[in-house]
Structure 1
Amino acid sequence: MKHLCGKTVVITGAAGGLGSALAKALAKEGCHLALIDINQQALTELTEKLQTPALRISYHVVNLCEKTEIDNLPAELMLVHPSIDVIINNAGMTLQKSVESHSMDDWQRVFSLNFWAAVSMCQTLLPFLRQQNSAHIVNLSSMAAFHGLPSQCSYSSSKAALQAYSESLRAELSGDGIGVSCIHPGAIQTNMIMATLDESDDMAQAHKNMVLAQRFGISPQAAAKQIVRGIKRNTRSMTIGVDAKLLKFASTALPRLTANLLARTYSKFIDT
């Protein structure tokens, strides 16, 4: 998909930092947008900023953890958009809790949004993608898919599952003109941690992690620019950020050292 002008793009988690950056970047490309999030106020404000006479921009308030709401999306989307060319499964959440303190409800919440929502979106909208000569799916995984991170077991597991799903999906759709990109960002300067900060095992450390992400993470605008480029090039997998590139290399070339370093780092956190 070398040219995006005139294409219709569906973005989940559109009201968040990366989601809104993607929406703005794609609007500049001349894309029509269907913006999905649970935050109606933020969606309304974003839509008003992006709306132009040349573009069809709609917003849809959806709880992606409820499959019935995803099932109802096609009819709602078709009221505004006659076709769908790109799906970006960007919505996600993380919990900073130990394996022991993760309840089954925690696991279900994280997997519902990070994994099952993406699967349901693809399953529901795939028939519309098949109607196009060229279409694309983007799944936002994470560097956490390369190696399970301490205090983020559900997040790492869900993102690793999304990576494997993306690989299977790309193989199955390769002959149908539908590309699939799996994106592995490192720290991005967004407020994703804030949503569940008060549920963290160690509030002080969680705040430190948030500050580090804001200070050293890549900007959402820079990440969005790379993702848009990946759609155009039908990139199979993309690692964004120095931290993500380092973890990918270390977990592949030096798996034992990586595991030991993460274990030692976690031990220092819980001992302080």
Structure 2
Amino acid sequence: MARLFAQLGYNLAICARRTDRLEQLKAELVKGYPDIRIEYRALDVSDYDAIFKVFDAFAADFGQIDRVVVNAGVGESRRIGKGRFETNRRTAEINFVSALAQCEAAMTIFRAQNSGHLVVISSMSAMRGLPKHMTTYGASKAGLAYLAEGIRADMLLTNLPIKVSTIYPGYIRTEINTNAKPLPFEVDADTGTKAIVAAIEAGVDEACVPSLPWSIVGQAMKRLPLTVVNKIS
């Protein structure tokens, strides 16, 4: 996403745990797009206090933050009742509580500015309760989607000019699932990322990406019996 946003001429504030990768990415983008400004900071989203400090520091760097993408997450969860509570708890905390902290930090900045665009990356797994190792992961991503919808509703209620977008990616092959078996309708990272950025740039409230087939699959998942959903999840 950073590469694609750089192509569009955006200044970038990027954060992650691995600063060596951020440094390499910054060097690459500065070389390719010398007219944009790029700042980076280390951030582990399990450190809630750090989220607020890093977001505020970026706002001070640039004077204004136009968009925040809440994208950090983990994919490891296990069947409920199989003695893996700590694994499931970490997934729930990173995917939901840490995302809540990021939304809180972003919306504090946006409210002060009276402008901004909050983007949360949910998952097609949020469409229904899923079995096996997907249960906690899907539930955390569903919670994130409802959180974003609630913030969007609040913006409508208060008539504030702050946009909120929820993106539901389908199966995208990335580092997080490199060793997993191929999945139906799976796309590579480049294809998936281009679809995500296109949806964000369009300013949608919600989008399943890539749109085909996932917009259709999403509607089907909401209506099909769980016995059928189990077979396609």
Find the counterpart in structure 2 of residue 24 from structure 1.
3
Matched, 1:187 2:171: yes
> What is the identity, as a one-letter code, of the residue corresponding to 1:170?
R
* Gap change, CA 1:264 and 1:178, over 3 Å in 2: closer
CA offsets 1:225-259 (integer angstroms, 9 cap, x no match): 333333333211100134633431222332x1xx1
SS of residue in 1 equivalent to 2:193: helix
* Gap change, CA 1:156 and 1:128, over 3 Å in 2: same
* Gap change, CA 1:101 and 1:170, over 3 Å in 2: same
- Residues 138 and 180, structure 1, Cα contact 8 Å, conserved in 2: yes
Matched, 1:77 2:47: no
* Gap change, CA 1:79 and 1:265, over 3 Å in 2: closer
SS of residue in 1 equivalent to 2:61: coil
SS of residue in 1 equivalent to 2:181: helix
- Residues 187 and 243, structure 1, Cα contact 8 Å, conserved in 2: no
Matched, 1:38 2:13: no
Tell me the distance in 2 between the aligned counterparts of 1:101 and 1:111: 16
Matched, 1:229 2:198: yes
After superposition, residues 123-202 of structure 1 pair within 5 angstroms as 123-132=104-113, 134-150=115-131, 151-174=133-156, 175-193=159-177
SS of residue in 1 equivalent to 2:80: coil
| Structure 1 position 218, deviation (Å) | 2.1
| Structure 1 position 131, deviation (Å) | 4.4
Tell me the distance in 2 between the aligned counterparts of 1:211 and 1:48: 34
Tell me the distance in 2 between the aligned counterparts of 1:92 and 1:246: 25
Q: Which moved more, 1:233-242 or 1:25-34?
A: 233-242
* Gap change, CA 1:232 and 1:246, over 3 Å in 2: closer
Q: RMSD of aligned C-alpha atoms?
A: 2.3
Return the TM-score normalized by structure 1: 0.75
- Residues 14 and 39, structure 2, Cα contact 8 Å, conserved in 1: yes
> What is the identity, as a one-letter code, of the residue corresponding to 1:253?
R
SS of residue in 1 equivalent to 2:171: coil
Count of matched residue positions in the alignment of Structure 1 and Structure 2: 227
* Gap change, CA 1:227 and 1:264, over 3 Å in 2: closer
Return the TM-score normalized by structure 2: 0.87
| Structure 1 position 193, deviation (Å) | 2.6
Matched, 1:49 2:19: no
Find the counterpart in structure 2 of residue 199 from structure 1.
none
| Structure 1 position 126, deviation (Å) | 1.7
CA offsets 1:31-83 (integer angstroms, 9 cap, x no match): 11111111122111111111243211111111101111112214432453211
Identity of aligned residues (%): 26
Tell me the distance in 1 between the aligned counterparts of 2:148 and 2:56: 26
> What is the identity, as a one-letter code, of the residue corresponding to 1:169?
I
* Gap change, CA 1:81 and 1:100, over 3 Å in 2: same
Tell me the distance in 2 between the aligned counterparts of 1:157 and 1:233: 27
Matched, 1:116 2:97: yes
Gaps of 5+ in 2: none
CA offsets 1:193-231 (integer angstroms, 9 cap, x no match): 35xxxxxxxxxxxx4xx2304x85223333333333333
Tell me the distance in 2 between the aligned counterparts of 1:223 and 1:46: 19
